């Protein structure tokens, strides 16, 4: 009975979270095209539905009905599973994301699919597994552009993963826990308790590494279309191509969601009197604000060169994050005594 309840609760929450994530991915593509269009003084998608609102659905259907081409010289098995290796880690990272205050459902406590004691590391662990999908896709295609894209992507992801991993240590020093719910609750009681005020440097390095980690402009080396056609997924078509797209956007939402939890108080309201608005709406607002920022920098900055990107990661971000860790530790120690 106990087991049936746990499973029921889990499936219920997974359905909600996965539904919301996939819907957000769809409308993130729409929002991106619209925002970029407005920034460039255009209208963007307008044909499908009112204001083009049904565009993502049309795009999805189109990709679903497209032929699935597998290059003759590709390694067929790896080529076929690489998109799934990419997509699954991007989705299951949301398992530890606390999306609301605890509420009762199915005779248990809901609010997060599973509040692991090591939730933060769990996300990092699965983010690193996503790298395989990219490298293997590039390798298995047996195409020069795909190969170069996969390699660049591998090198870029691992370099910025390091900076990402080091920038969150400061937050851990403040909260003393790896559980995302505990990190959120430690920022309870108004926006002046949020970690961003104590860890502004970590926030900046986190956001920069997050942009690079998700291969977004201005750091979209792996798929720089003017140099590498489409990078590691040059050879992909139809649904498999769509999966890389889904994975990229899901990852983007994941890192923004994580940034909201770590630095912006997660589902906590910014002021006490705003508590009547449910937590998941606050989390959505914060996440979408960061996503808007992602689109904004895409619309603003030109692409950097690959050597600049790698140098910036290793020579600028890593020393800053290390210094931030030591200063934060010193500050915490002085504050406690």
Partner 1 sequence: MMQVLFYYMAAVTVVSSVLTVTLKQPVYNVLALLTMFFHVAGLYVLLNAEFLAVVQIIVYAGAILVLYLFVLMLLNLRSDARHMHRQWPFAVLILGSVAAMLVGAFAGGGFGGEIGQYSTAYIDSLGGDTQAIGLTLYTDYLLPFEVASLVLLVAMVGAIVLTKKGLVDDQVED
Partner 2 sequence: MTTDFIPSNYLPVLIFFMIAAAFGFVTIIMGKLVRPQNPYREKALPYECGAPPISDARQPFPMRYYIIAMLFVLFDIEAVFMYPWAVVFNDIGIYGLVEMGLFILVLVVGYVYAWGKGALEWD
Interacting positions 226-255 with partner 2 (CB under 8 A): 229, 234-235, 238-240, 243
Among 15, 125, 289, 322, binds partner 1 (CB under 8 A): 125
Distance of alpha carbon 22 from alpha carbon 18, whole angstroms: 6
Tell me: does residue 51 bind partner 2 (CB under 8 A): no
Nearer CB in complex with partner 1: 154/279:
154
Tell me: does residue 62 bind partner 2 (CB under 8 A): no
> Long-range contacts made by residues 139-142, C-beta under 8 angstroms, separation at least 24?
139/75, 139/78, 140/74, 140/75, 140/78, 140/79, 140/82, 141/71, 141/74, 141/79, 141/232, 141/234, 141/235, 141/236, 142/71, 142/73, 142/74, 142/75
Among 54, 116, 201, 320, binds partner 1 (CB under 8 A): 116
Q: Considering only the stretches 57-65, 120-128, 263-271, 317-325, report the one whose residues sit in contact with partner 1 under the rule CB under 8 A.
A: 120-128
Binding mask 100-139 for partner 2 (x = CB under 8 A): -------------xxxxx---xx----------------x
Among 123, 202, 210, 325, binds partner 2 (CB under 8 A): 325
DSSP 8-state class, residue 301: P
Distance of alpha carbon 33 from alpha carbon 123, whole angstroms: 28
Tell me: does residue 124 bind partner 1 (CB under 8 A): yes
Binding mask 160-179 for partner 1 (x = CB under 8 A): -x---------------xx-
Give 228: exposed, middle or buried? Use CB within 10 Å, 0-12, 13-18, 19+.
buried
Distance of alpha carbon 74 from alpha carbon 98, whole angstroms: 41
Distance of alpha carbon 250 from alpha carbon 209, whole angstroms: 16
- Residue 333, strand partner residues: none
Which of partner 1, partner 2, none interacts with 238 (beta carbon under 5 to 8 A by kind)? Answer: partner 2
Nearer CB in complex with partner 2: 7/57:
7
Distance of alpha carbon 36 from alpha carbon 295, whole angstroms: 7
Closest CA to 94 of 259, 254, 326: 254
Q: CA quadruple 126, 130, 135, 140: dihedral positive or negative?
A: positive
**Three-state SS annotation for 310-322:** HHHHHHHHHHHHH
Nearer CB in complex with partner 1: 56/154:
154
Tell me: does residue 172 bind partner 2 (CB under 8 A): yes
Q: With the CA atoms of 70, 74, 80 and 85 taken in that order, what torsion angle do they form, in degrees rounded to the nearest 10? A: -140
Which of partner 1, partner 2, none interacts with 159 (beta carbon under 5 to 8 A by kind)? Answer: partner 2
Tell me: does residue 326 bind partner 2 (CB under 8 A): yes
The footprint of partner 1 on residues 3-42 (CB under 8 A) is 3
- Least distance (Å) between residue 49 CB and partner 2: 22
Q: Considering only the stretches 119-127, 227-235, 281-289, 323-331, report the one whose residues sit in contact with partner 1 under the rule CB under 8 A.
A: 119-127
Tell me: does residue 75 bind partner 1 (CB under 8 A): yes
Binding mask 181-220 for partner 1 (x = CB under 8 A): ----------------------------------------
Helices (H), the chain: 2-39, 55-64, 76-92, 119-141, 144-167, 169-175, 180-185, 195-198, 200-213, 225-228, 238-263, 279-300, 306-311, 318-336
Tell me: does residue 121 bind partner 1 (CB under 8 A): yes
Q: Considering only the stretches 64-72, 106-114, 135-143, 202-210, report the one whose residues sit in contact with partner 1 under the rule CB under 8 A.
A: 135-143
Nearer CB in complex with partner 1: 117/308:
117
Tell me: does residue 324 bind partner 1 (CB under 8 A): no
């Amino acid at each position: 009975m106990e087991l049936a309840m746990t499973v029921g609760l889990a499936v219920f929450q997974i359905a909600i979270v996965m539904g919301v994530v996939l819907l957000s991915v769809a409308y993130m593509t729409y929002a991106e095209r619209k925002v970029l269009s407005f920034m460039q003084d255009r209208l963007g998608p307008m044909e499908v539905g009112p204001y083009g609102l049904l565009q993502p659905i049309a795009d999805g259907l189109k990709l679903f009905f497209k032929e699935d081409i597998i290059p003759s010289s590709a390694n067929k098995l790896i080529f076929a599973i690489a998109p799934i290796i990419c997509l699954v880690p991007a989705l299951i990272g949301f398992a530890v994301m606390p999306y609301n205050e605890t509420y009762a459902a199915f005779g248990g406590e809901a609010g997060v699919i599973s509040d692991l004691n090591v939730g933060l590391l769990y996300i990092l662990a699965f983010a690193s597994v996503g790298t395989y999908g990219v490298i293997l896709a590039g390798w298995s295609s047996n195409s020069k552009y795909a190969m170069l894209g996969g390699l660049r992507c591998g090198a870029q992801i691992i370099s910025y993963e390091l900076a990402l991993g080091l920038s969150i240590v400061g937050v851990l020093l403040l909260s003393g826990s790896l559980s995302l719910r505990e990190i959120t609750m430690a920022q309870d009681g108004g926006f002046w308790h949020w970690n961003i005020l104590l860890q502004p440097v970590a926030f900046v390095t986190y956001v920069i590494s997050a942009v690079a980690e998700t291969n977004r402009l201005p750091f979209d080396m792996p798929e720089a279309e003017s140099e590498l056609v489409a990078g590691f997924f040059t050879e992909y078509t139809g649904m498999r191509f769509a999966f890389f797209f889904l994975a990229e956007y899901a990852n983007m939402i994941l890192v923004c969601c994580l940034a909201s939890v770590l630095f912006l108080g997660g589902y906590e309201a910014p002021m006490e009197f705003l508590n009547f608005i449910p937590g998941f709406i606050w989390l959505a607002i914060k996440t979408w604000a960061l996503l808007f920022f992602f689109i904004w920098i895409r619309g603003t900055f030109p692409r950097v060169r690959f050597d600049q990107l790698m140098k910036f990661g290793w020579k600028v971000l890593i020393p800053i994050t290390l210094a931030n860790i030591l200063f934060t530790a010193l500050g915490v120690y002085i504050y406690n005594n």
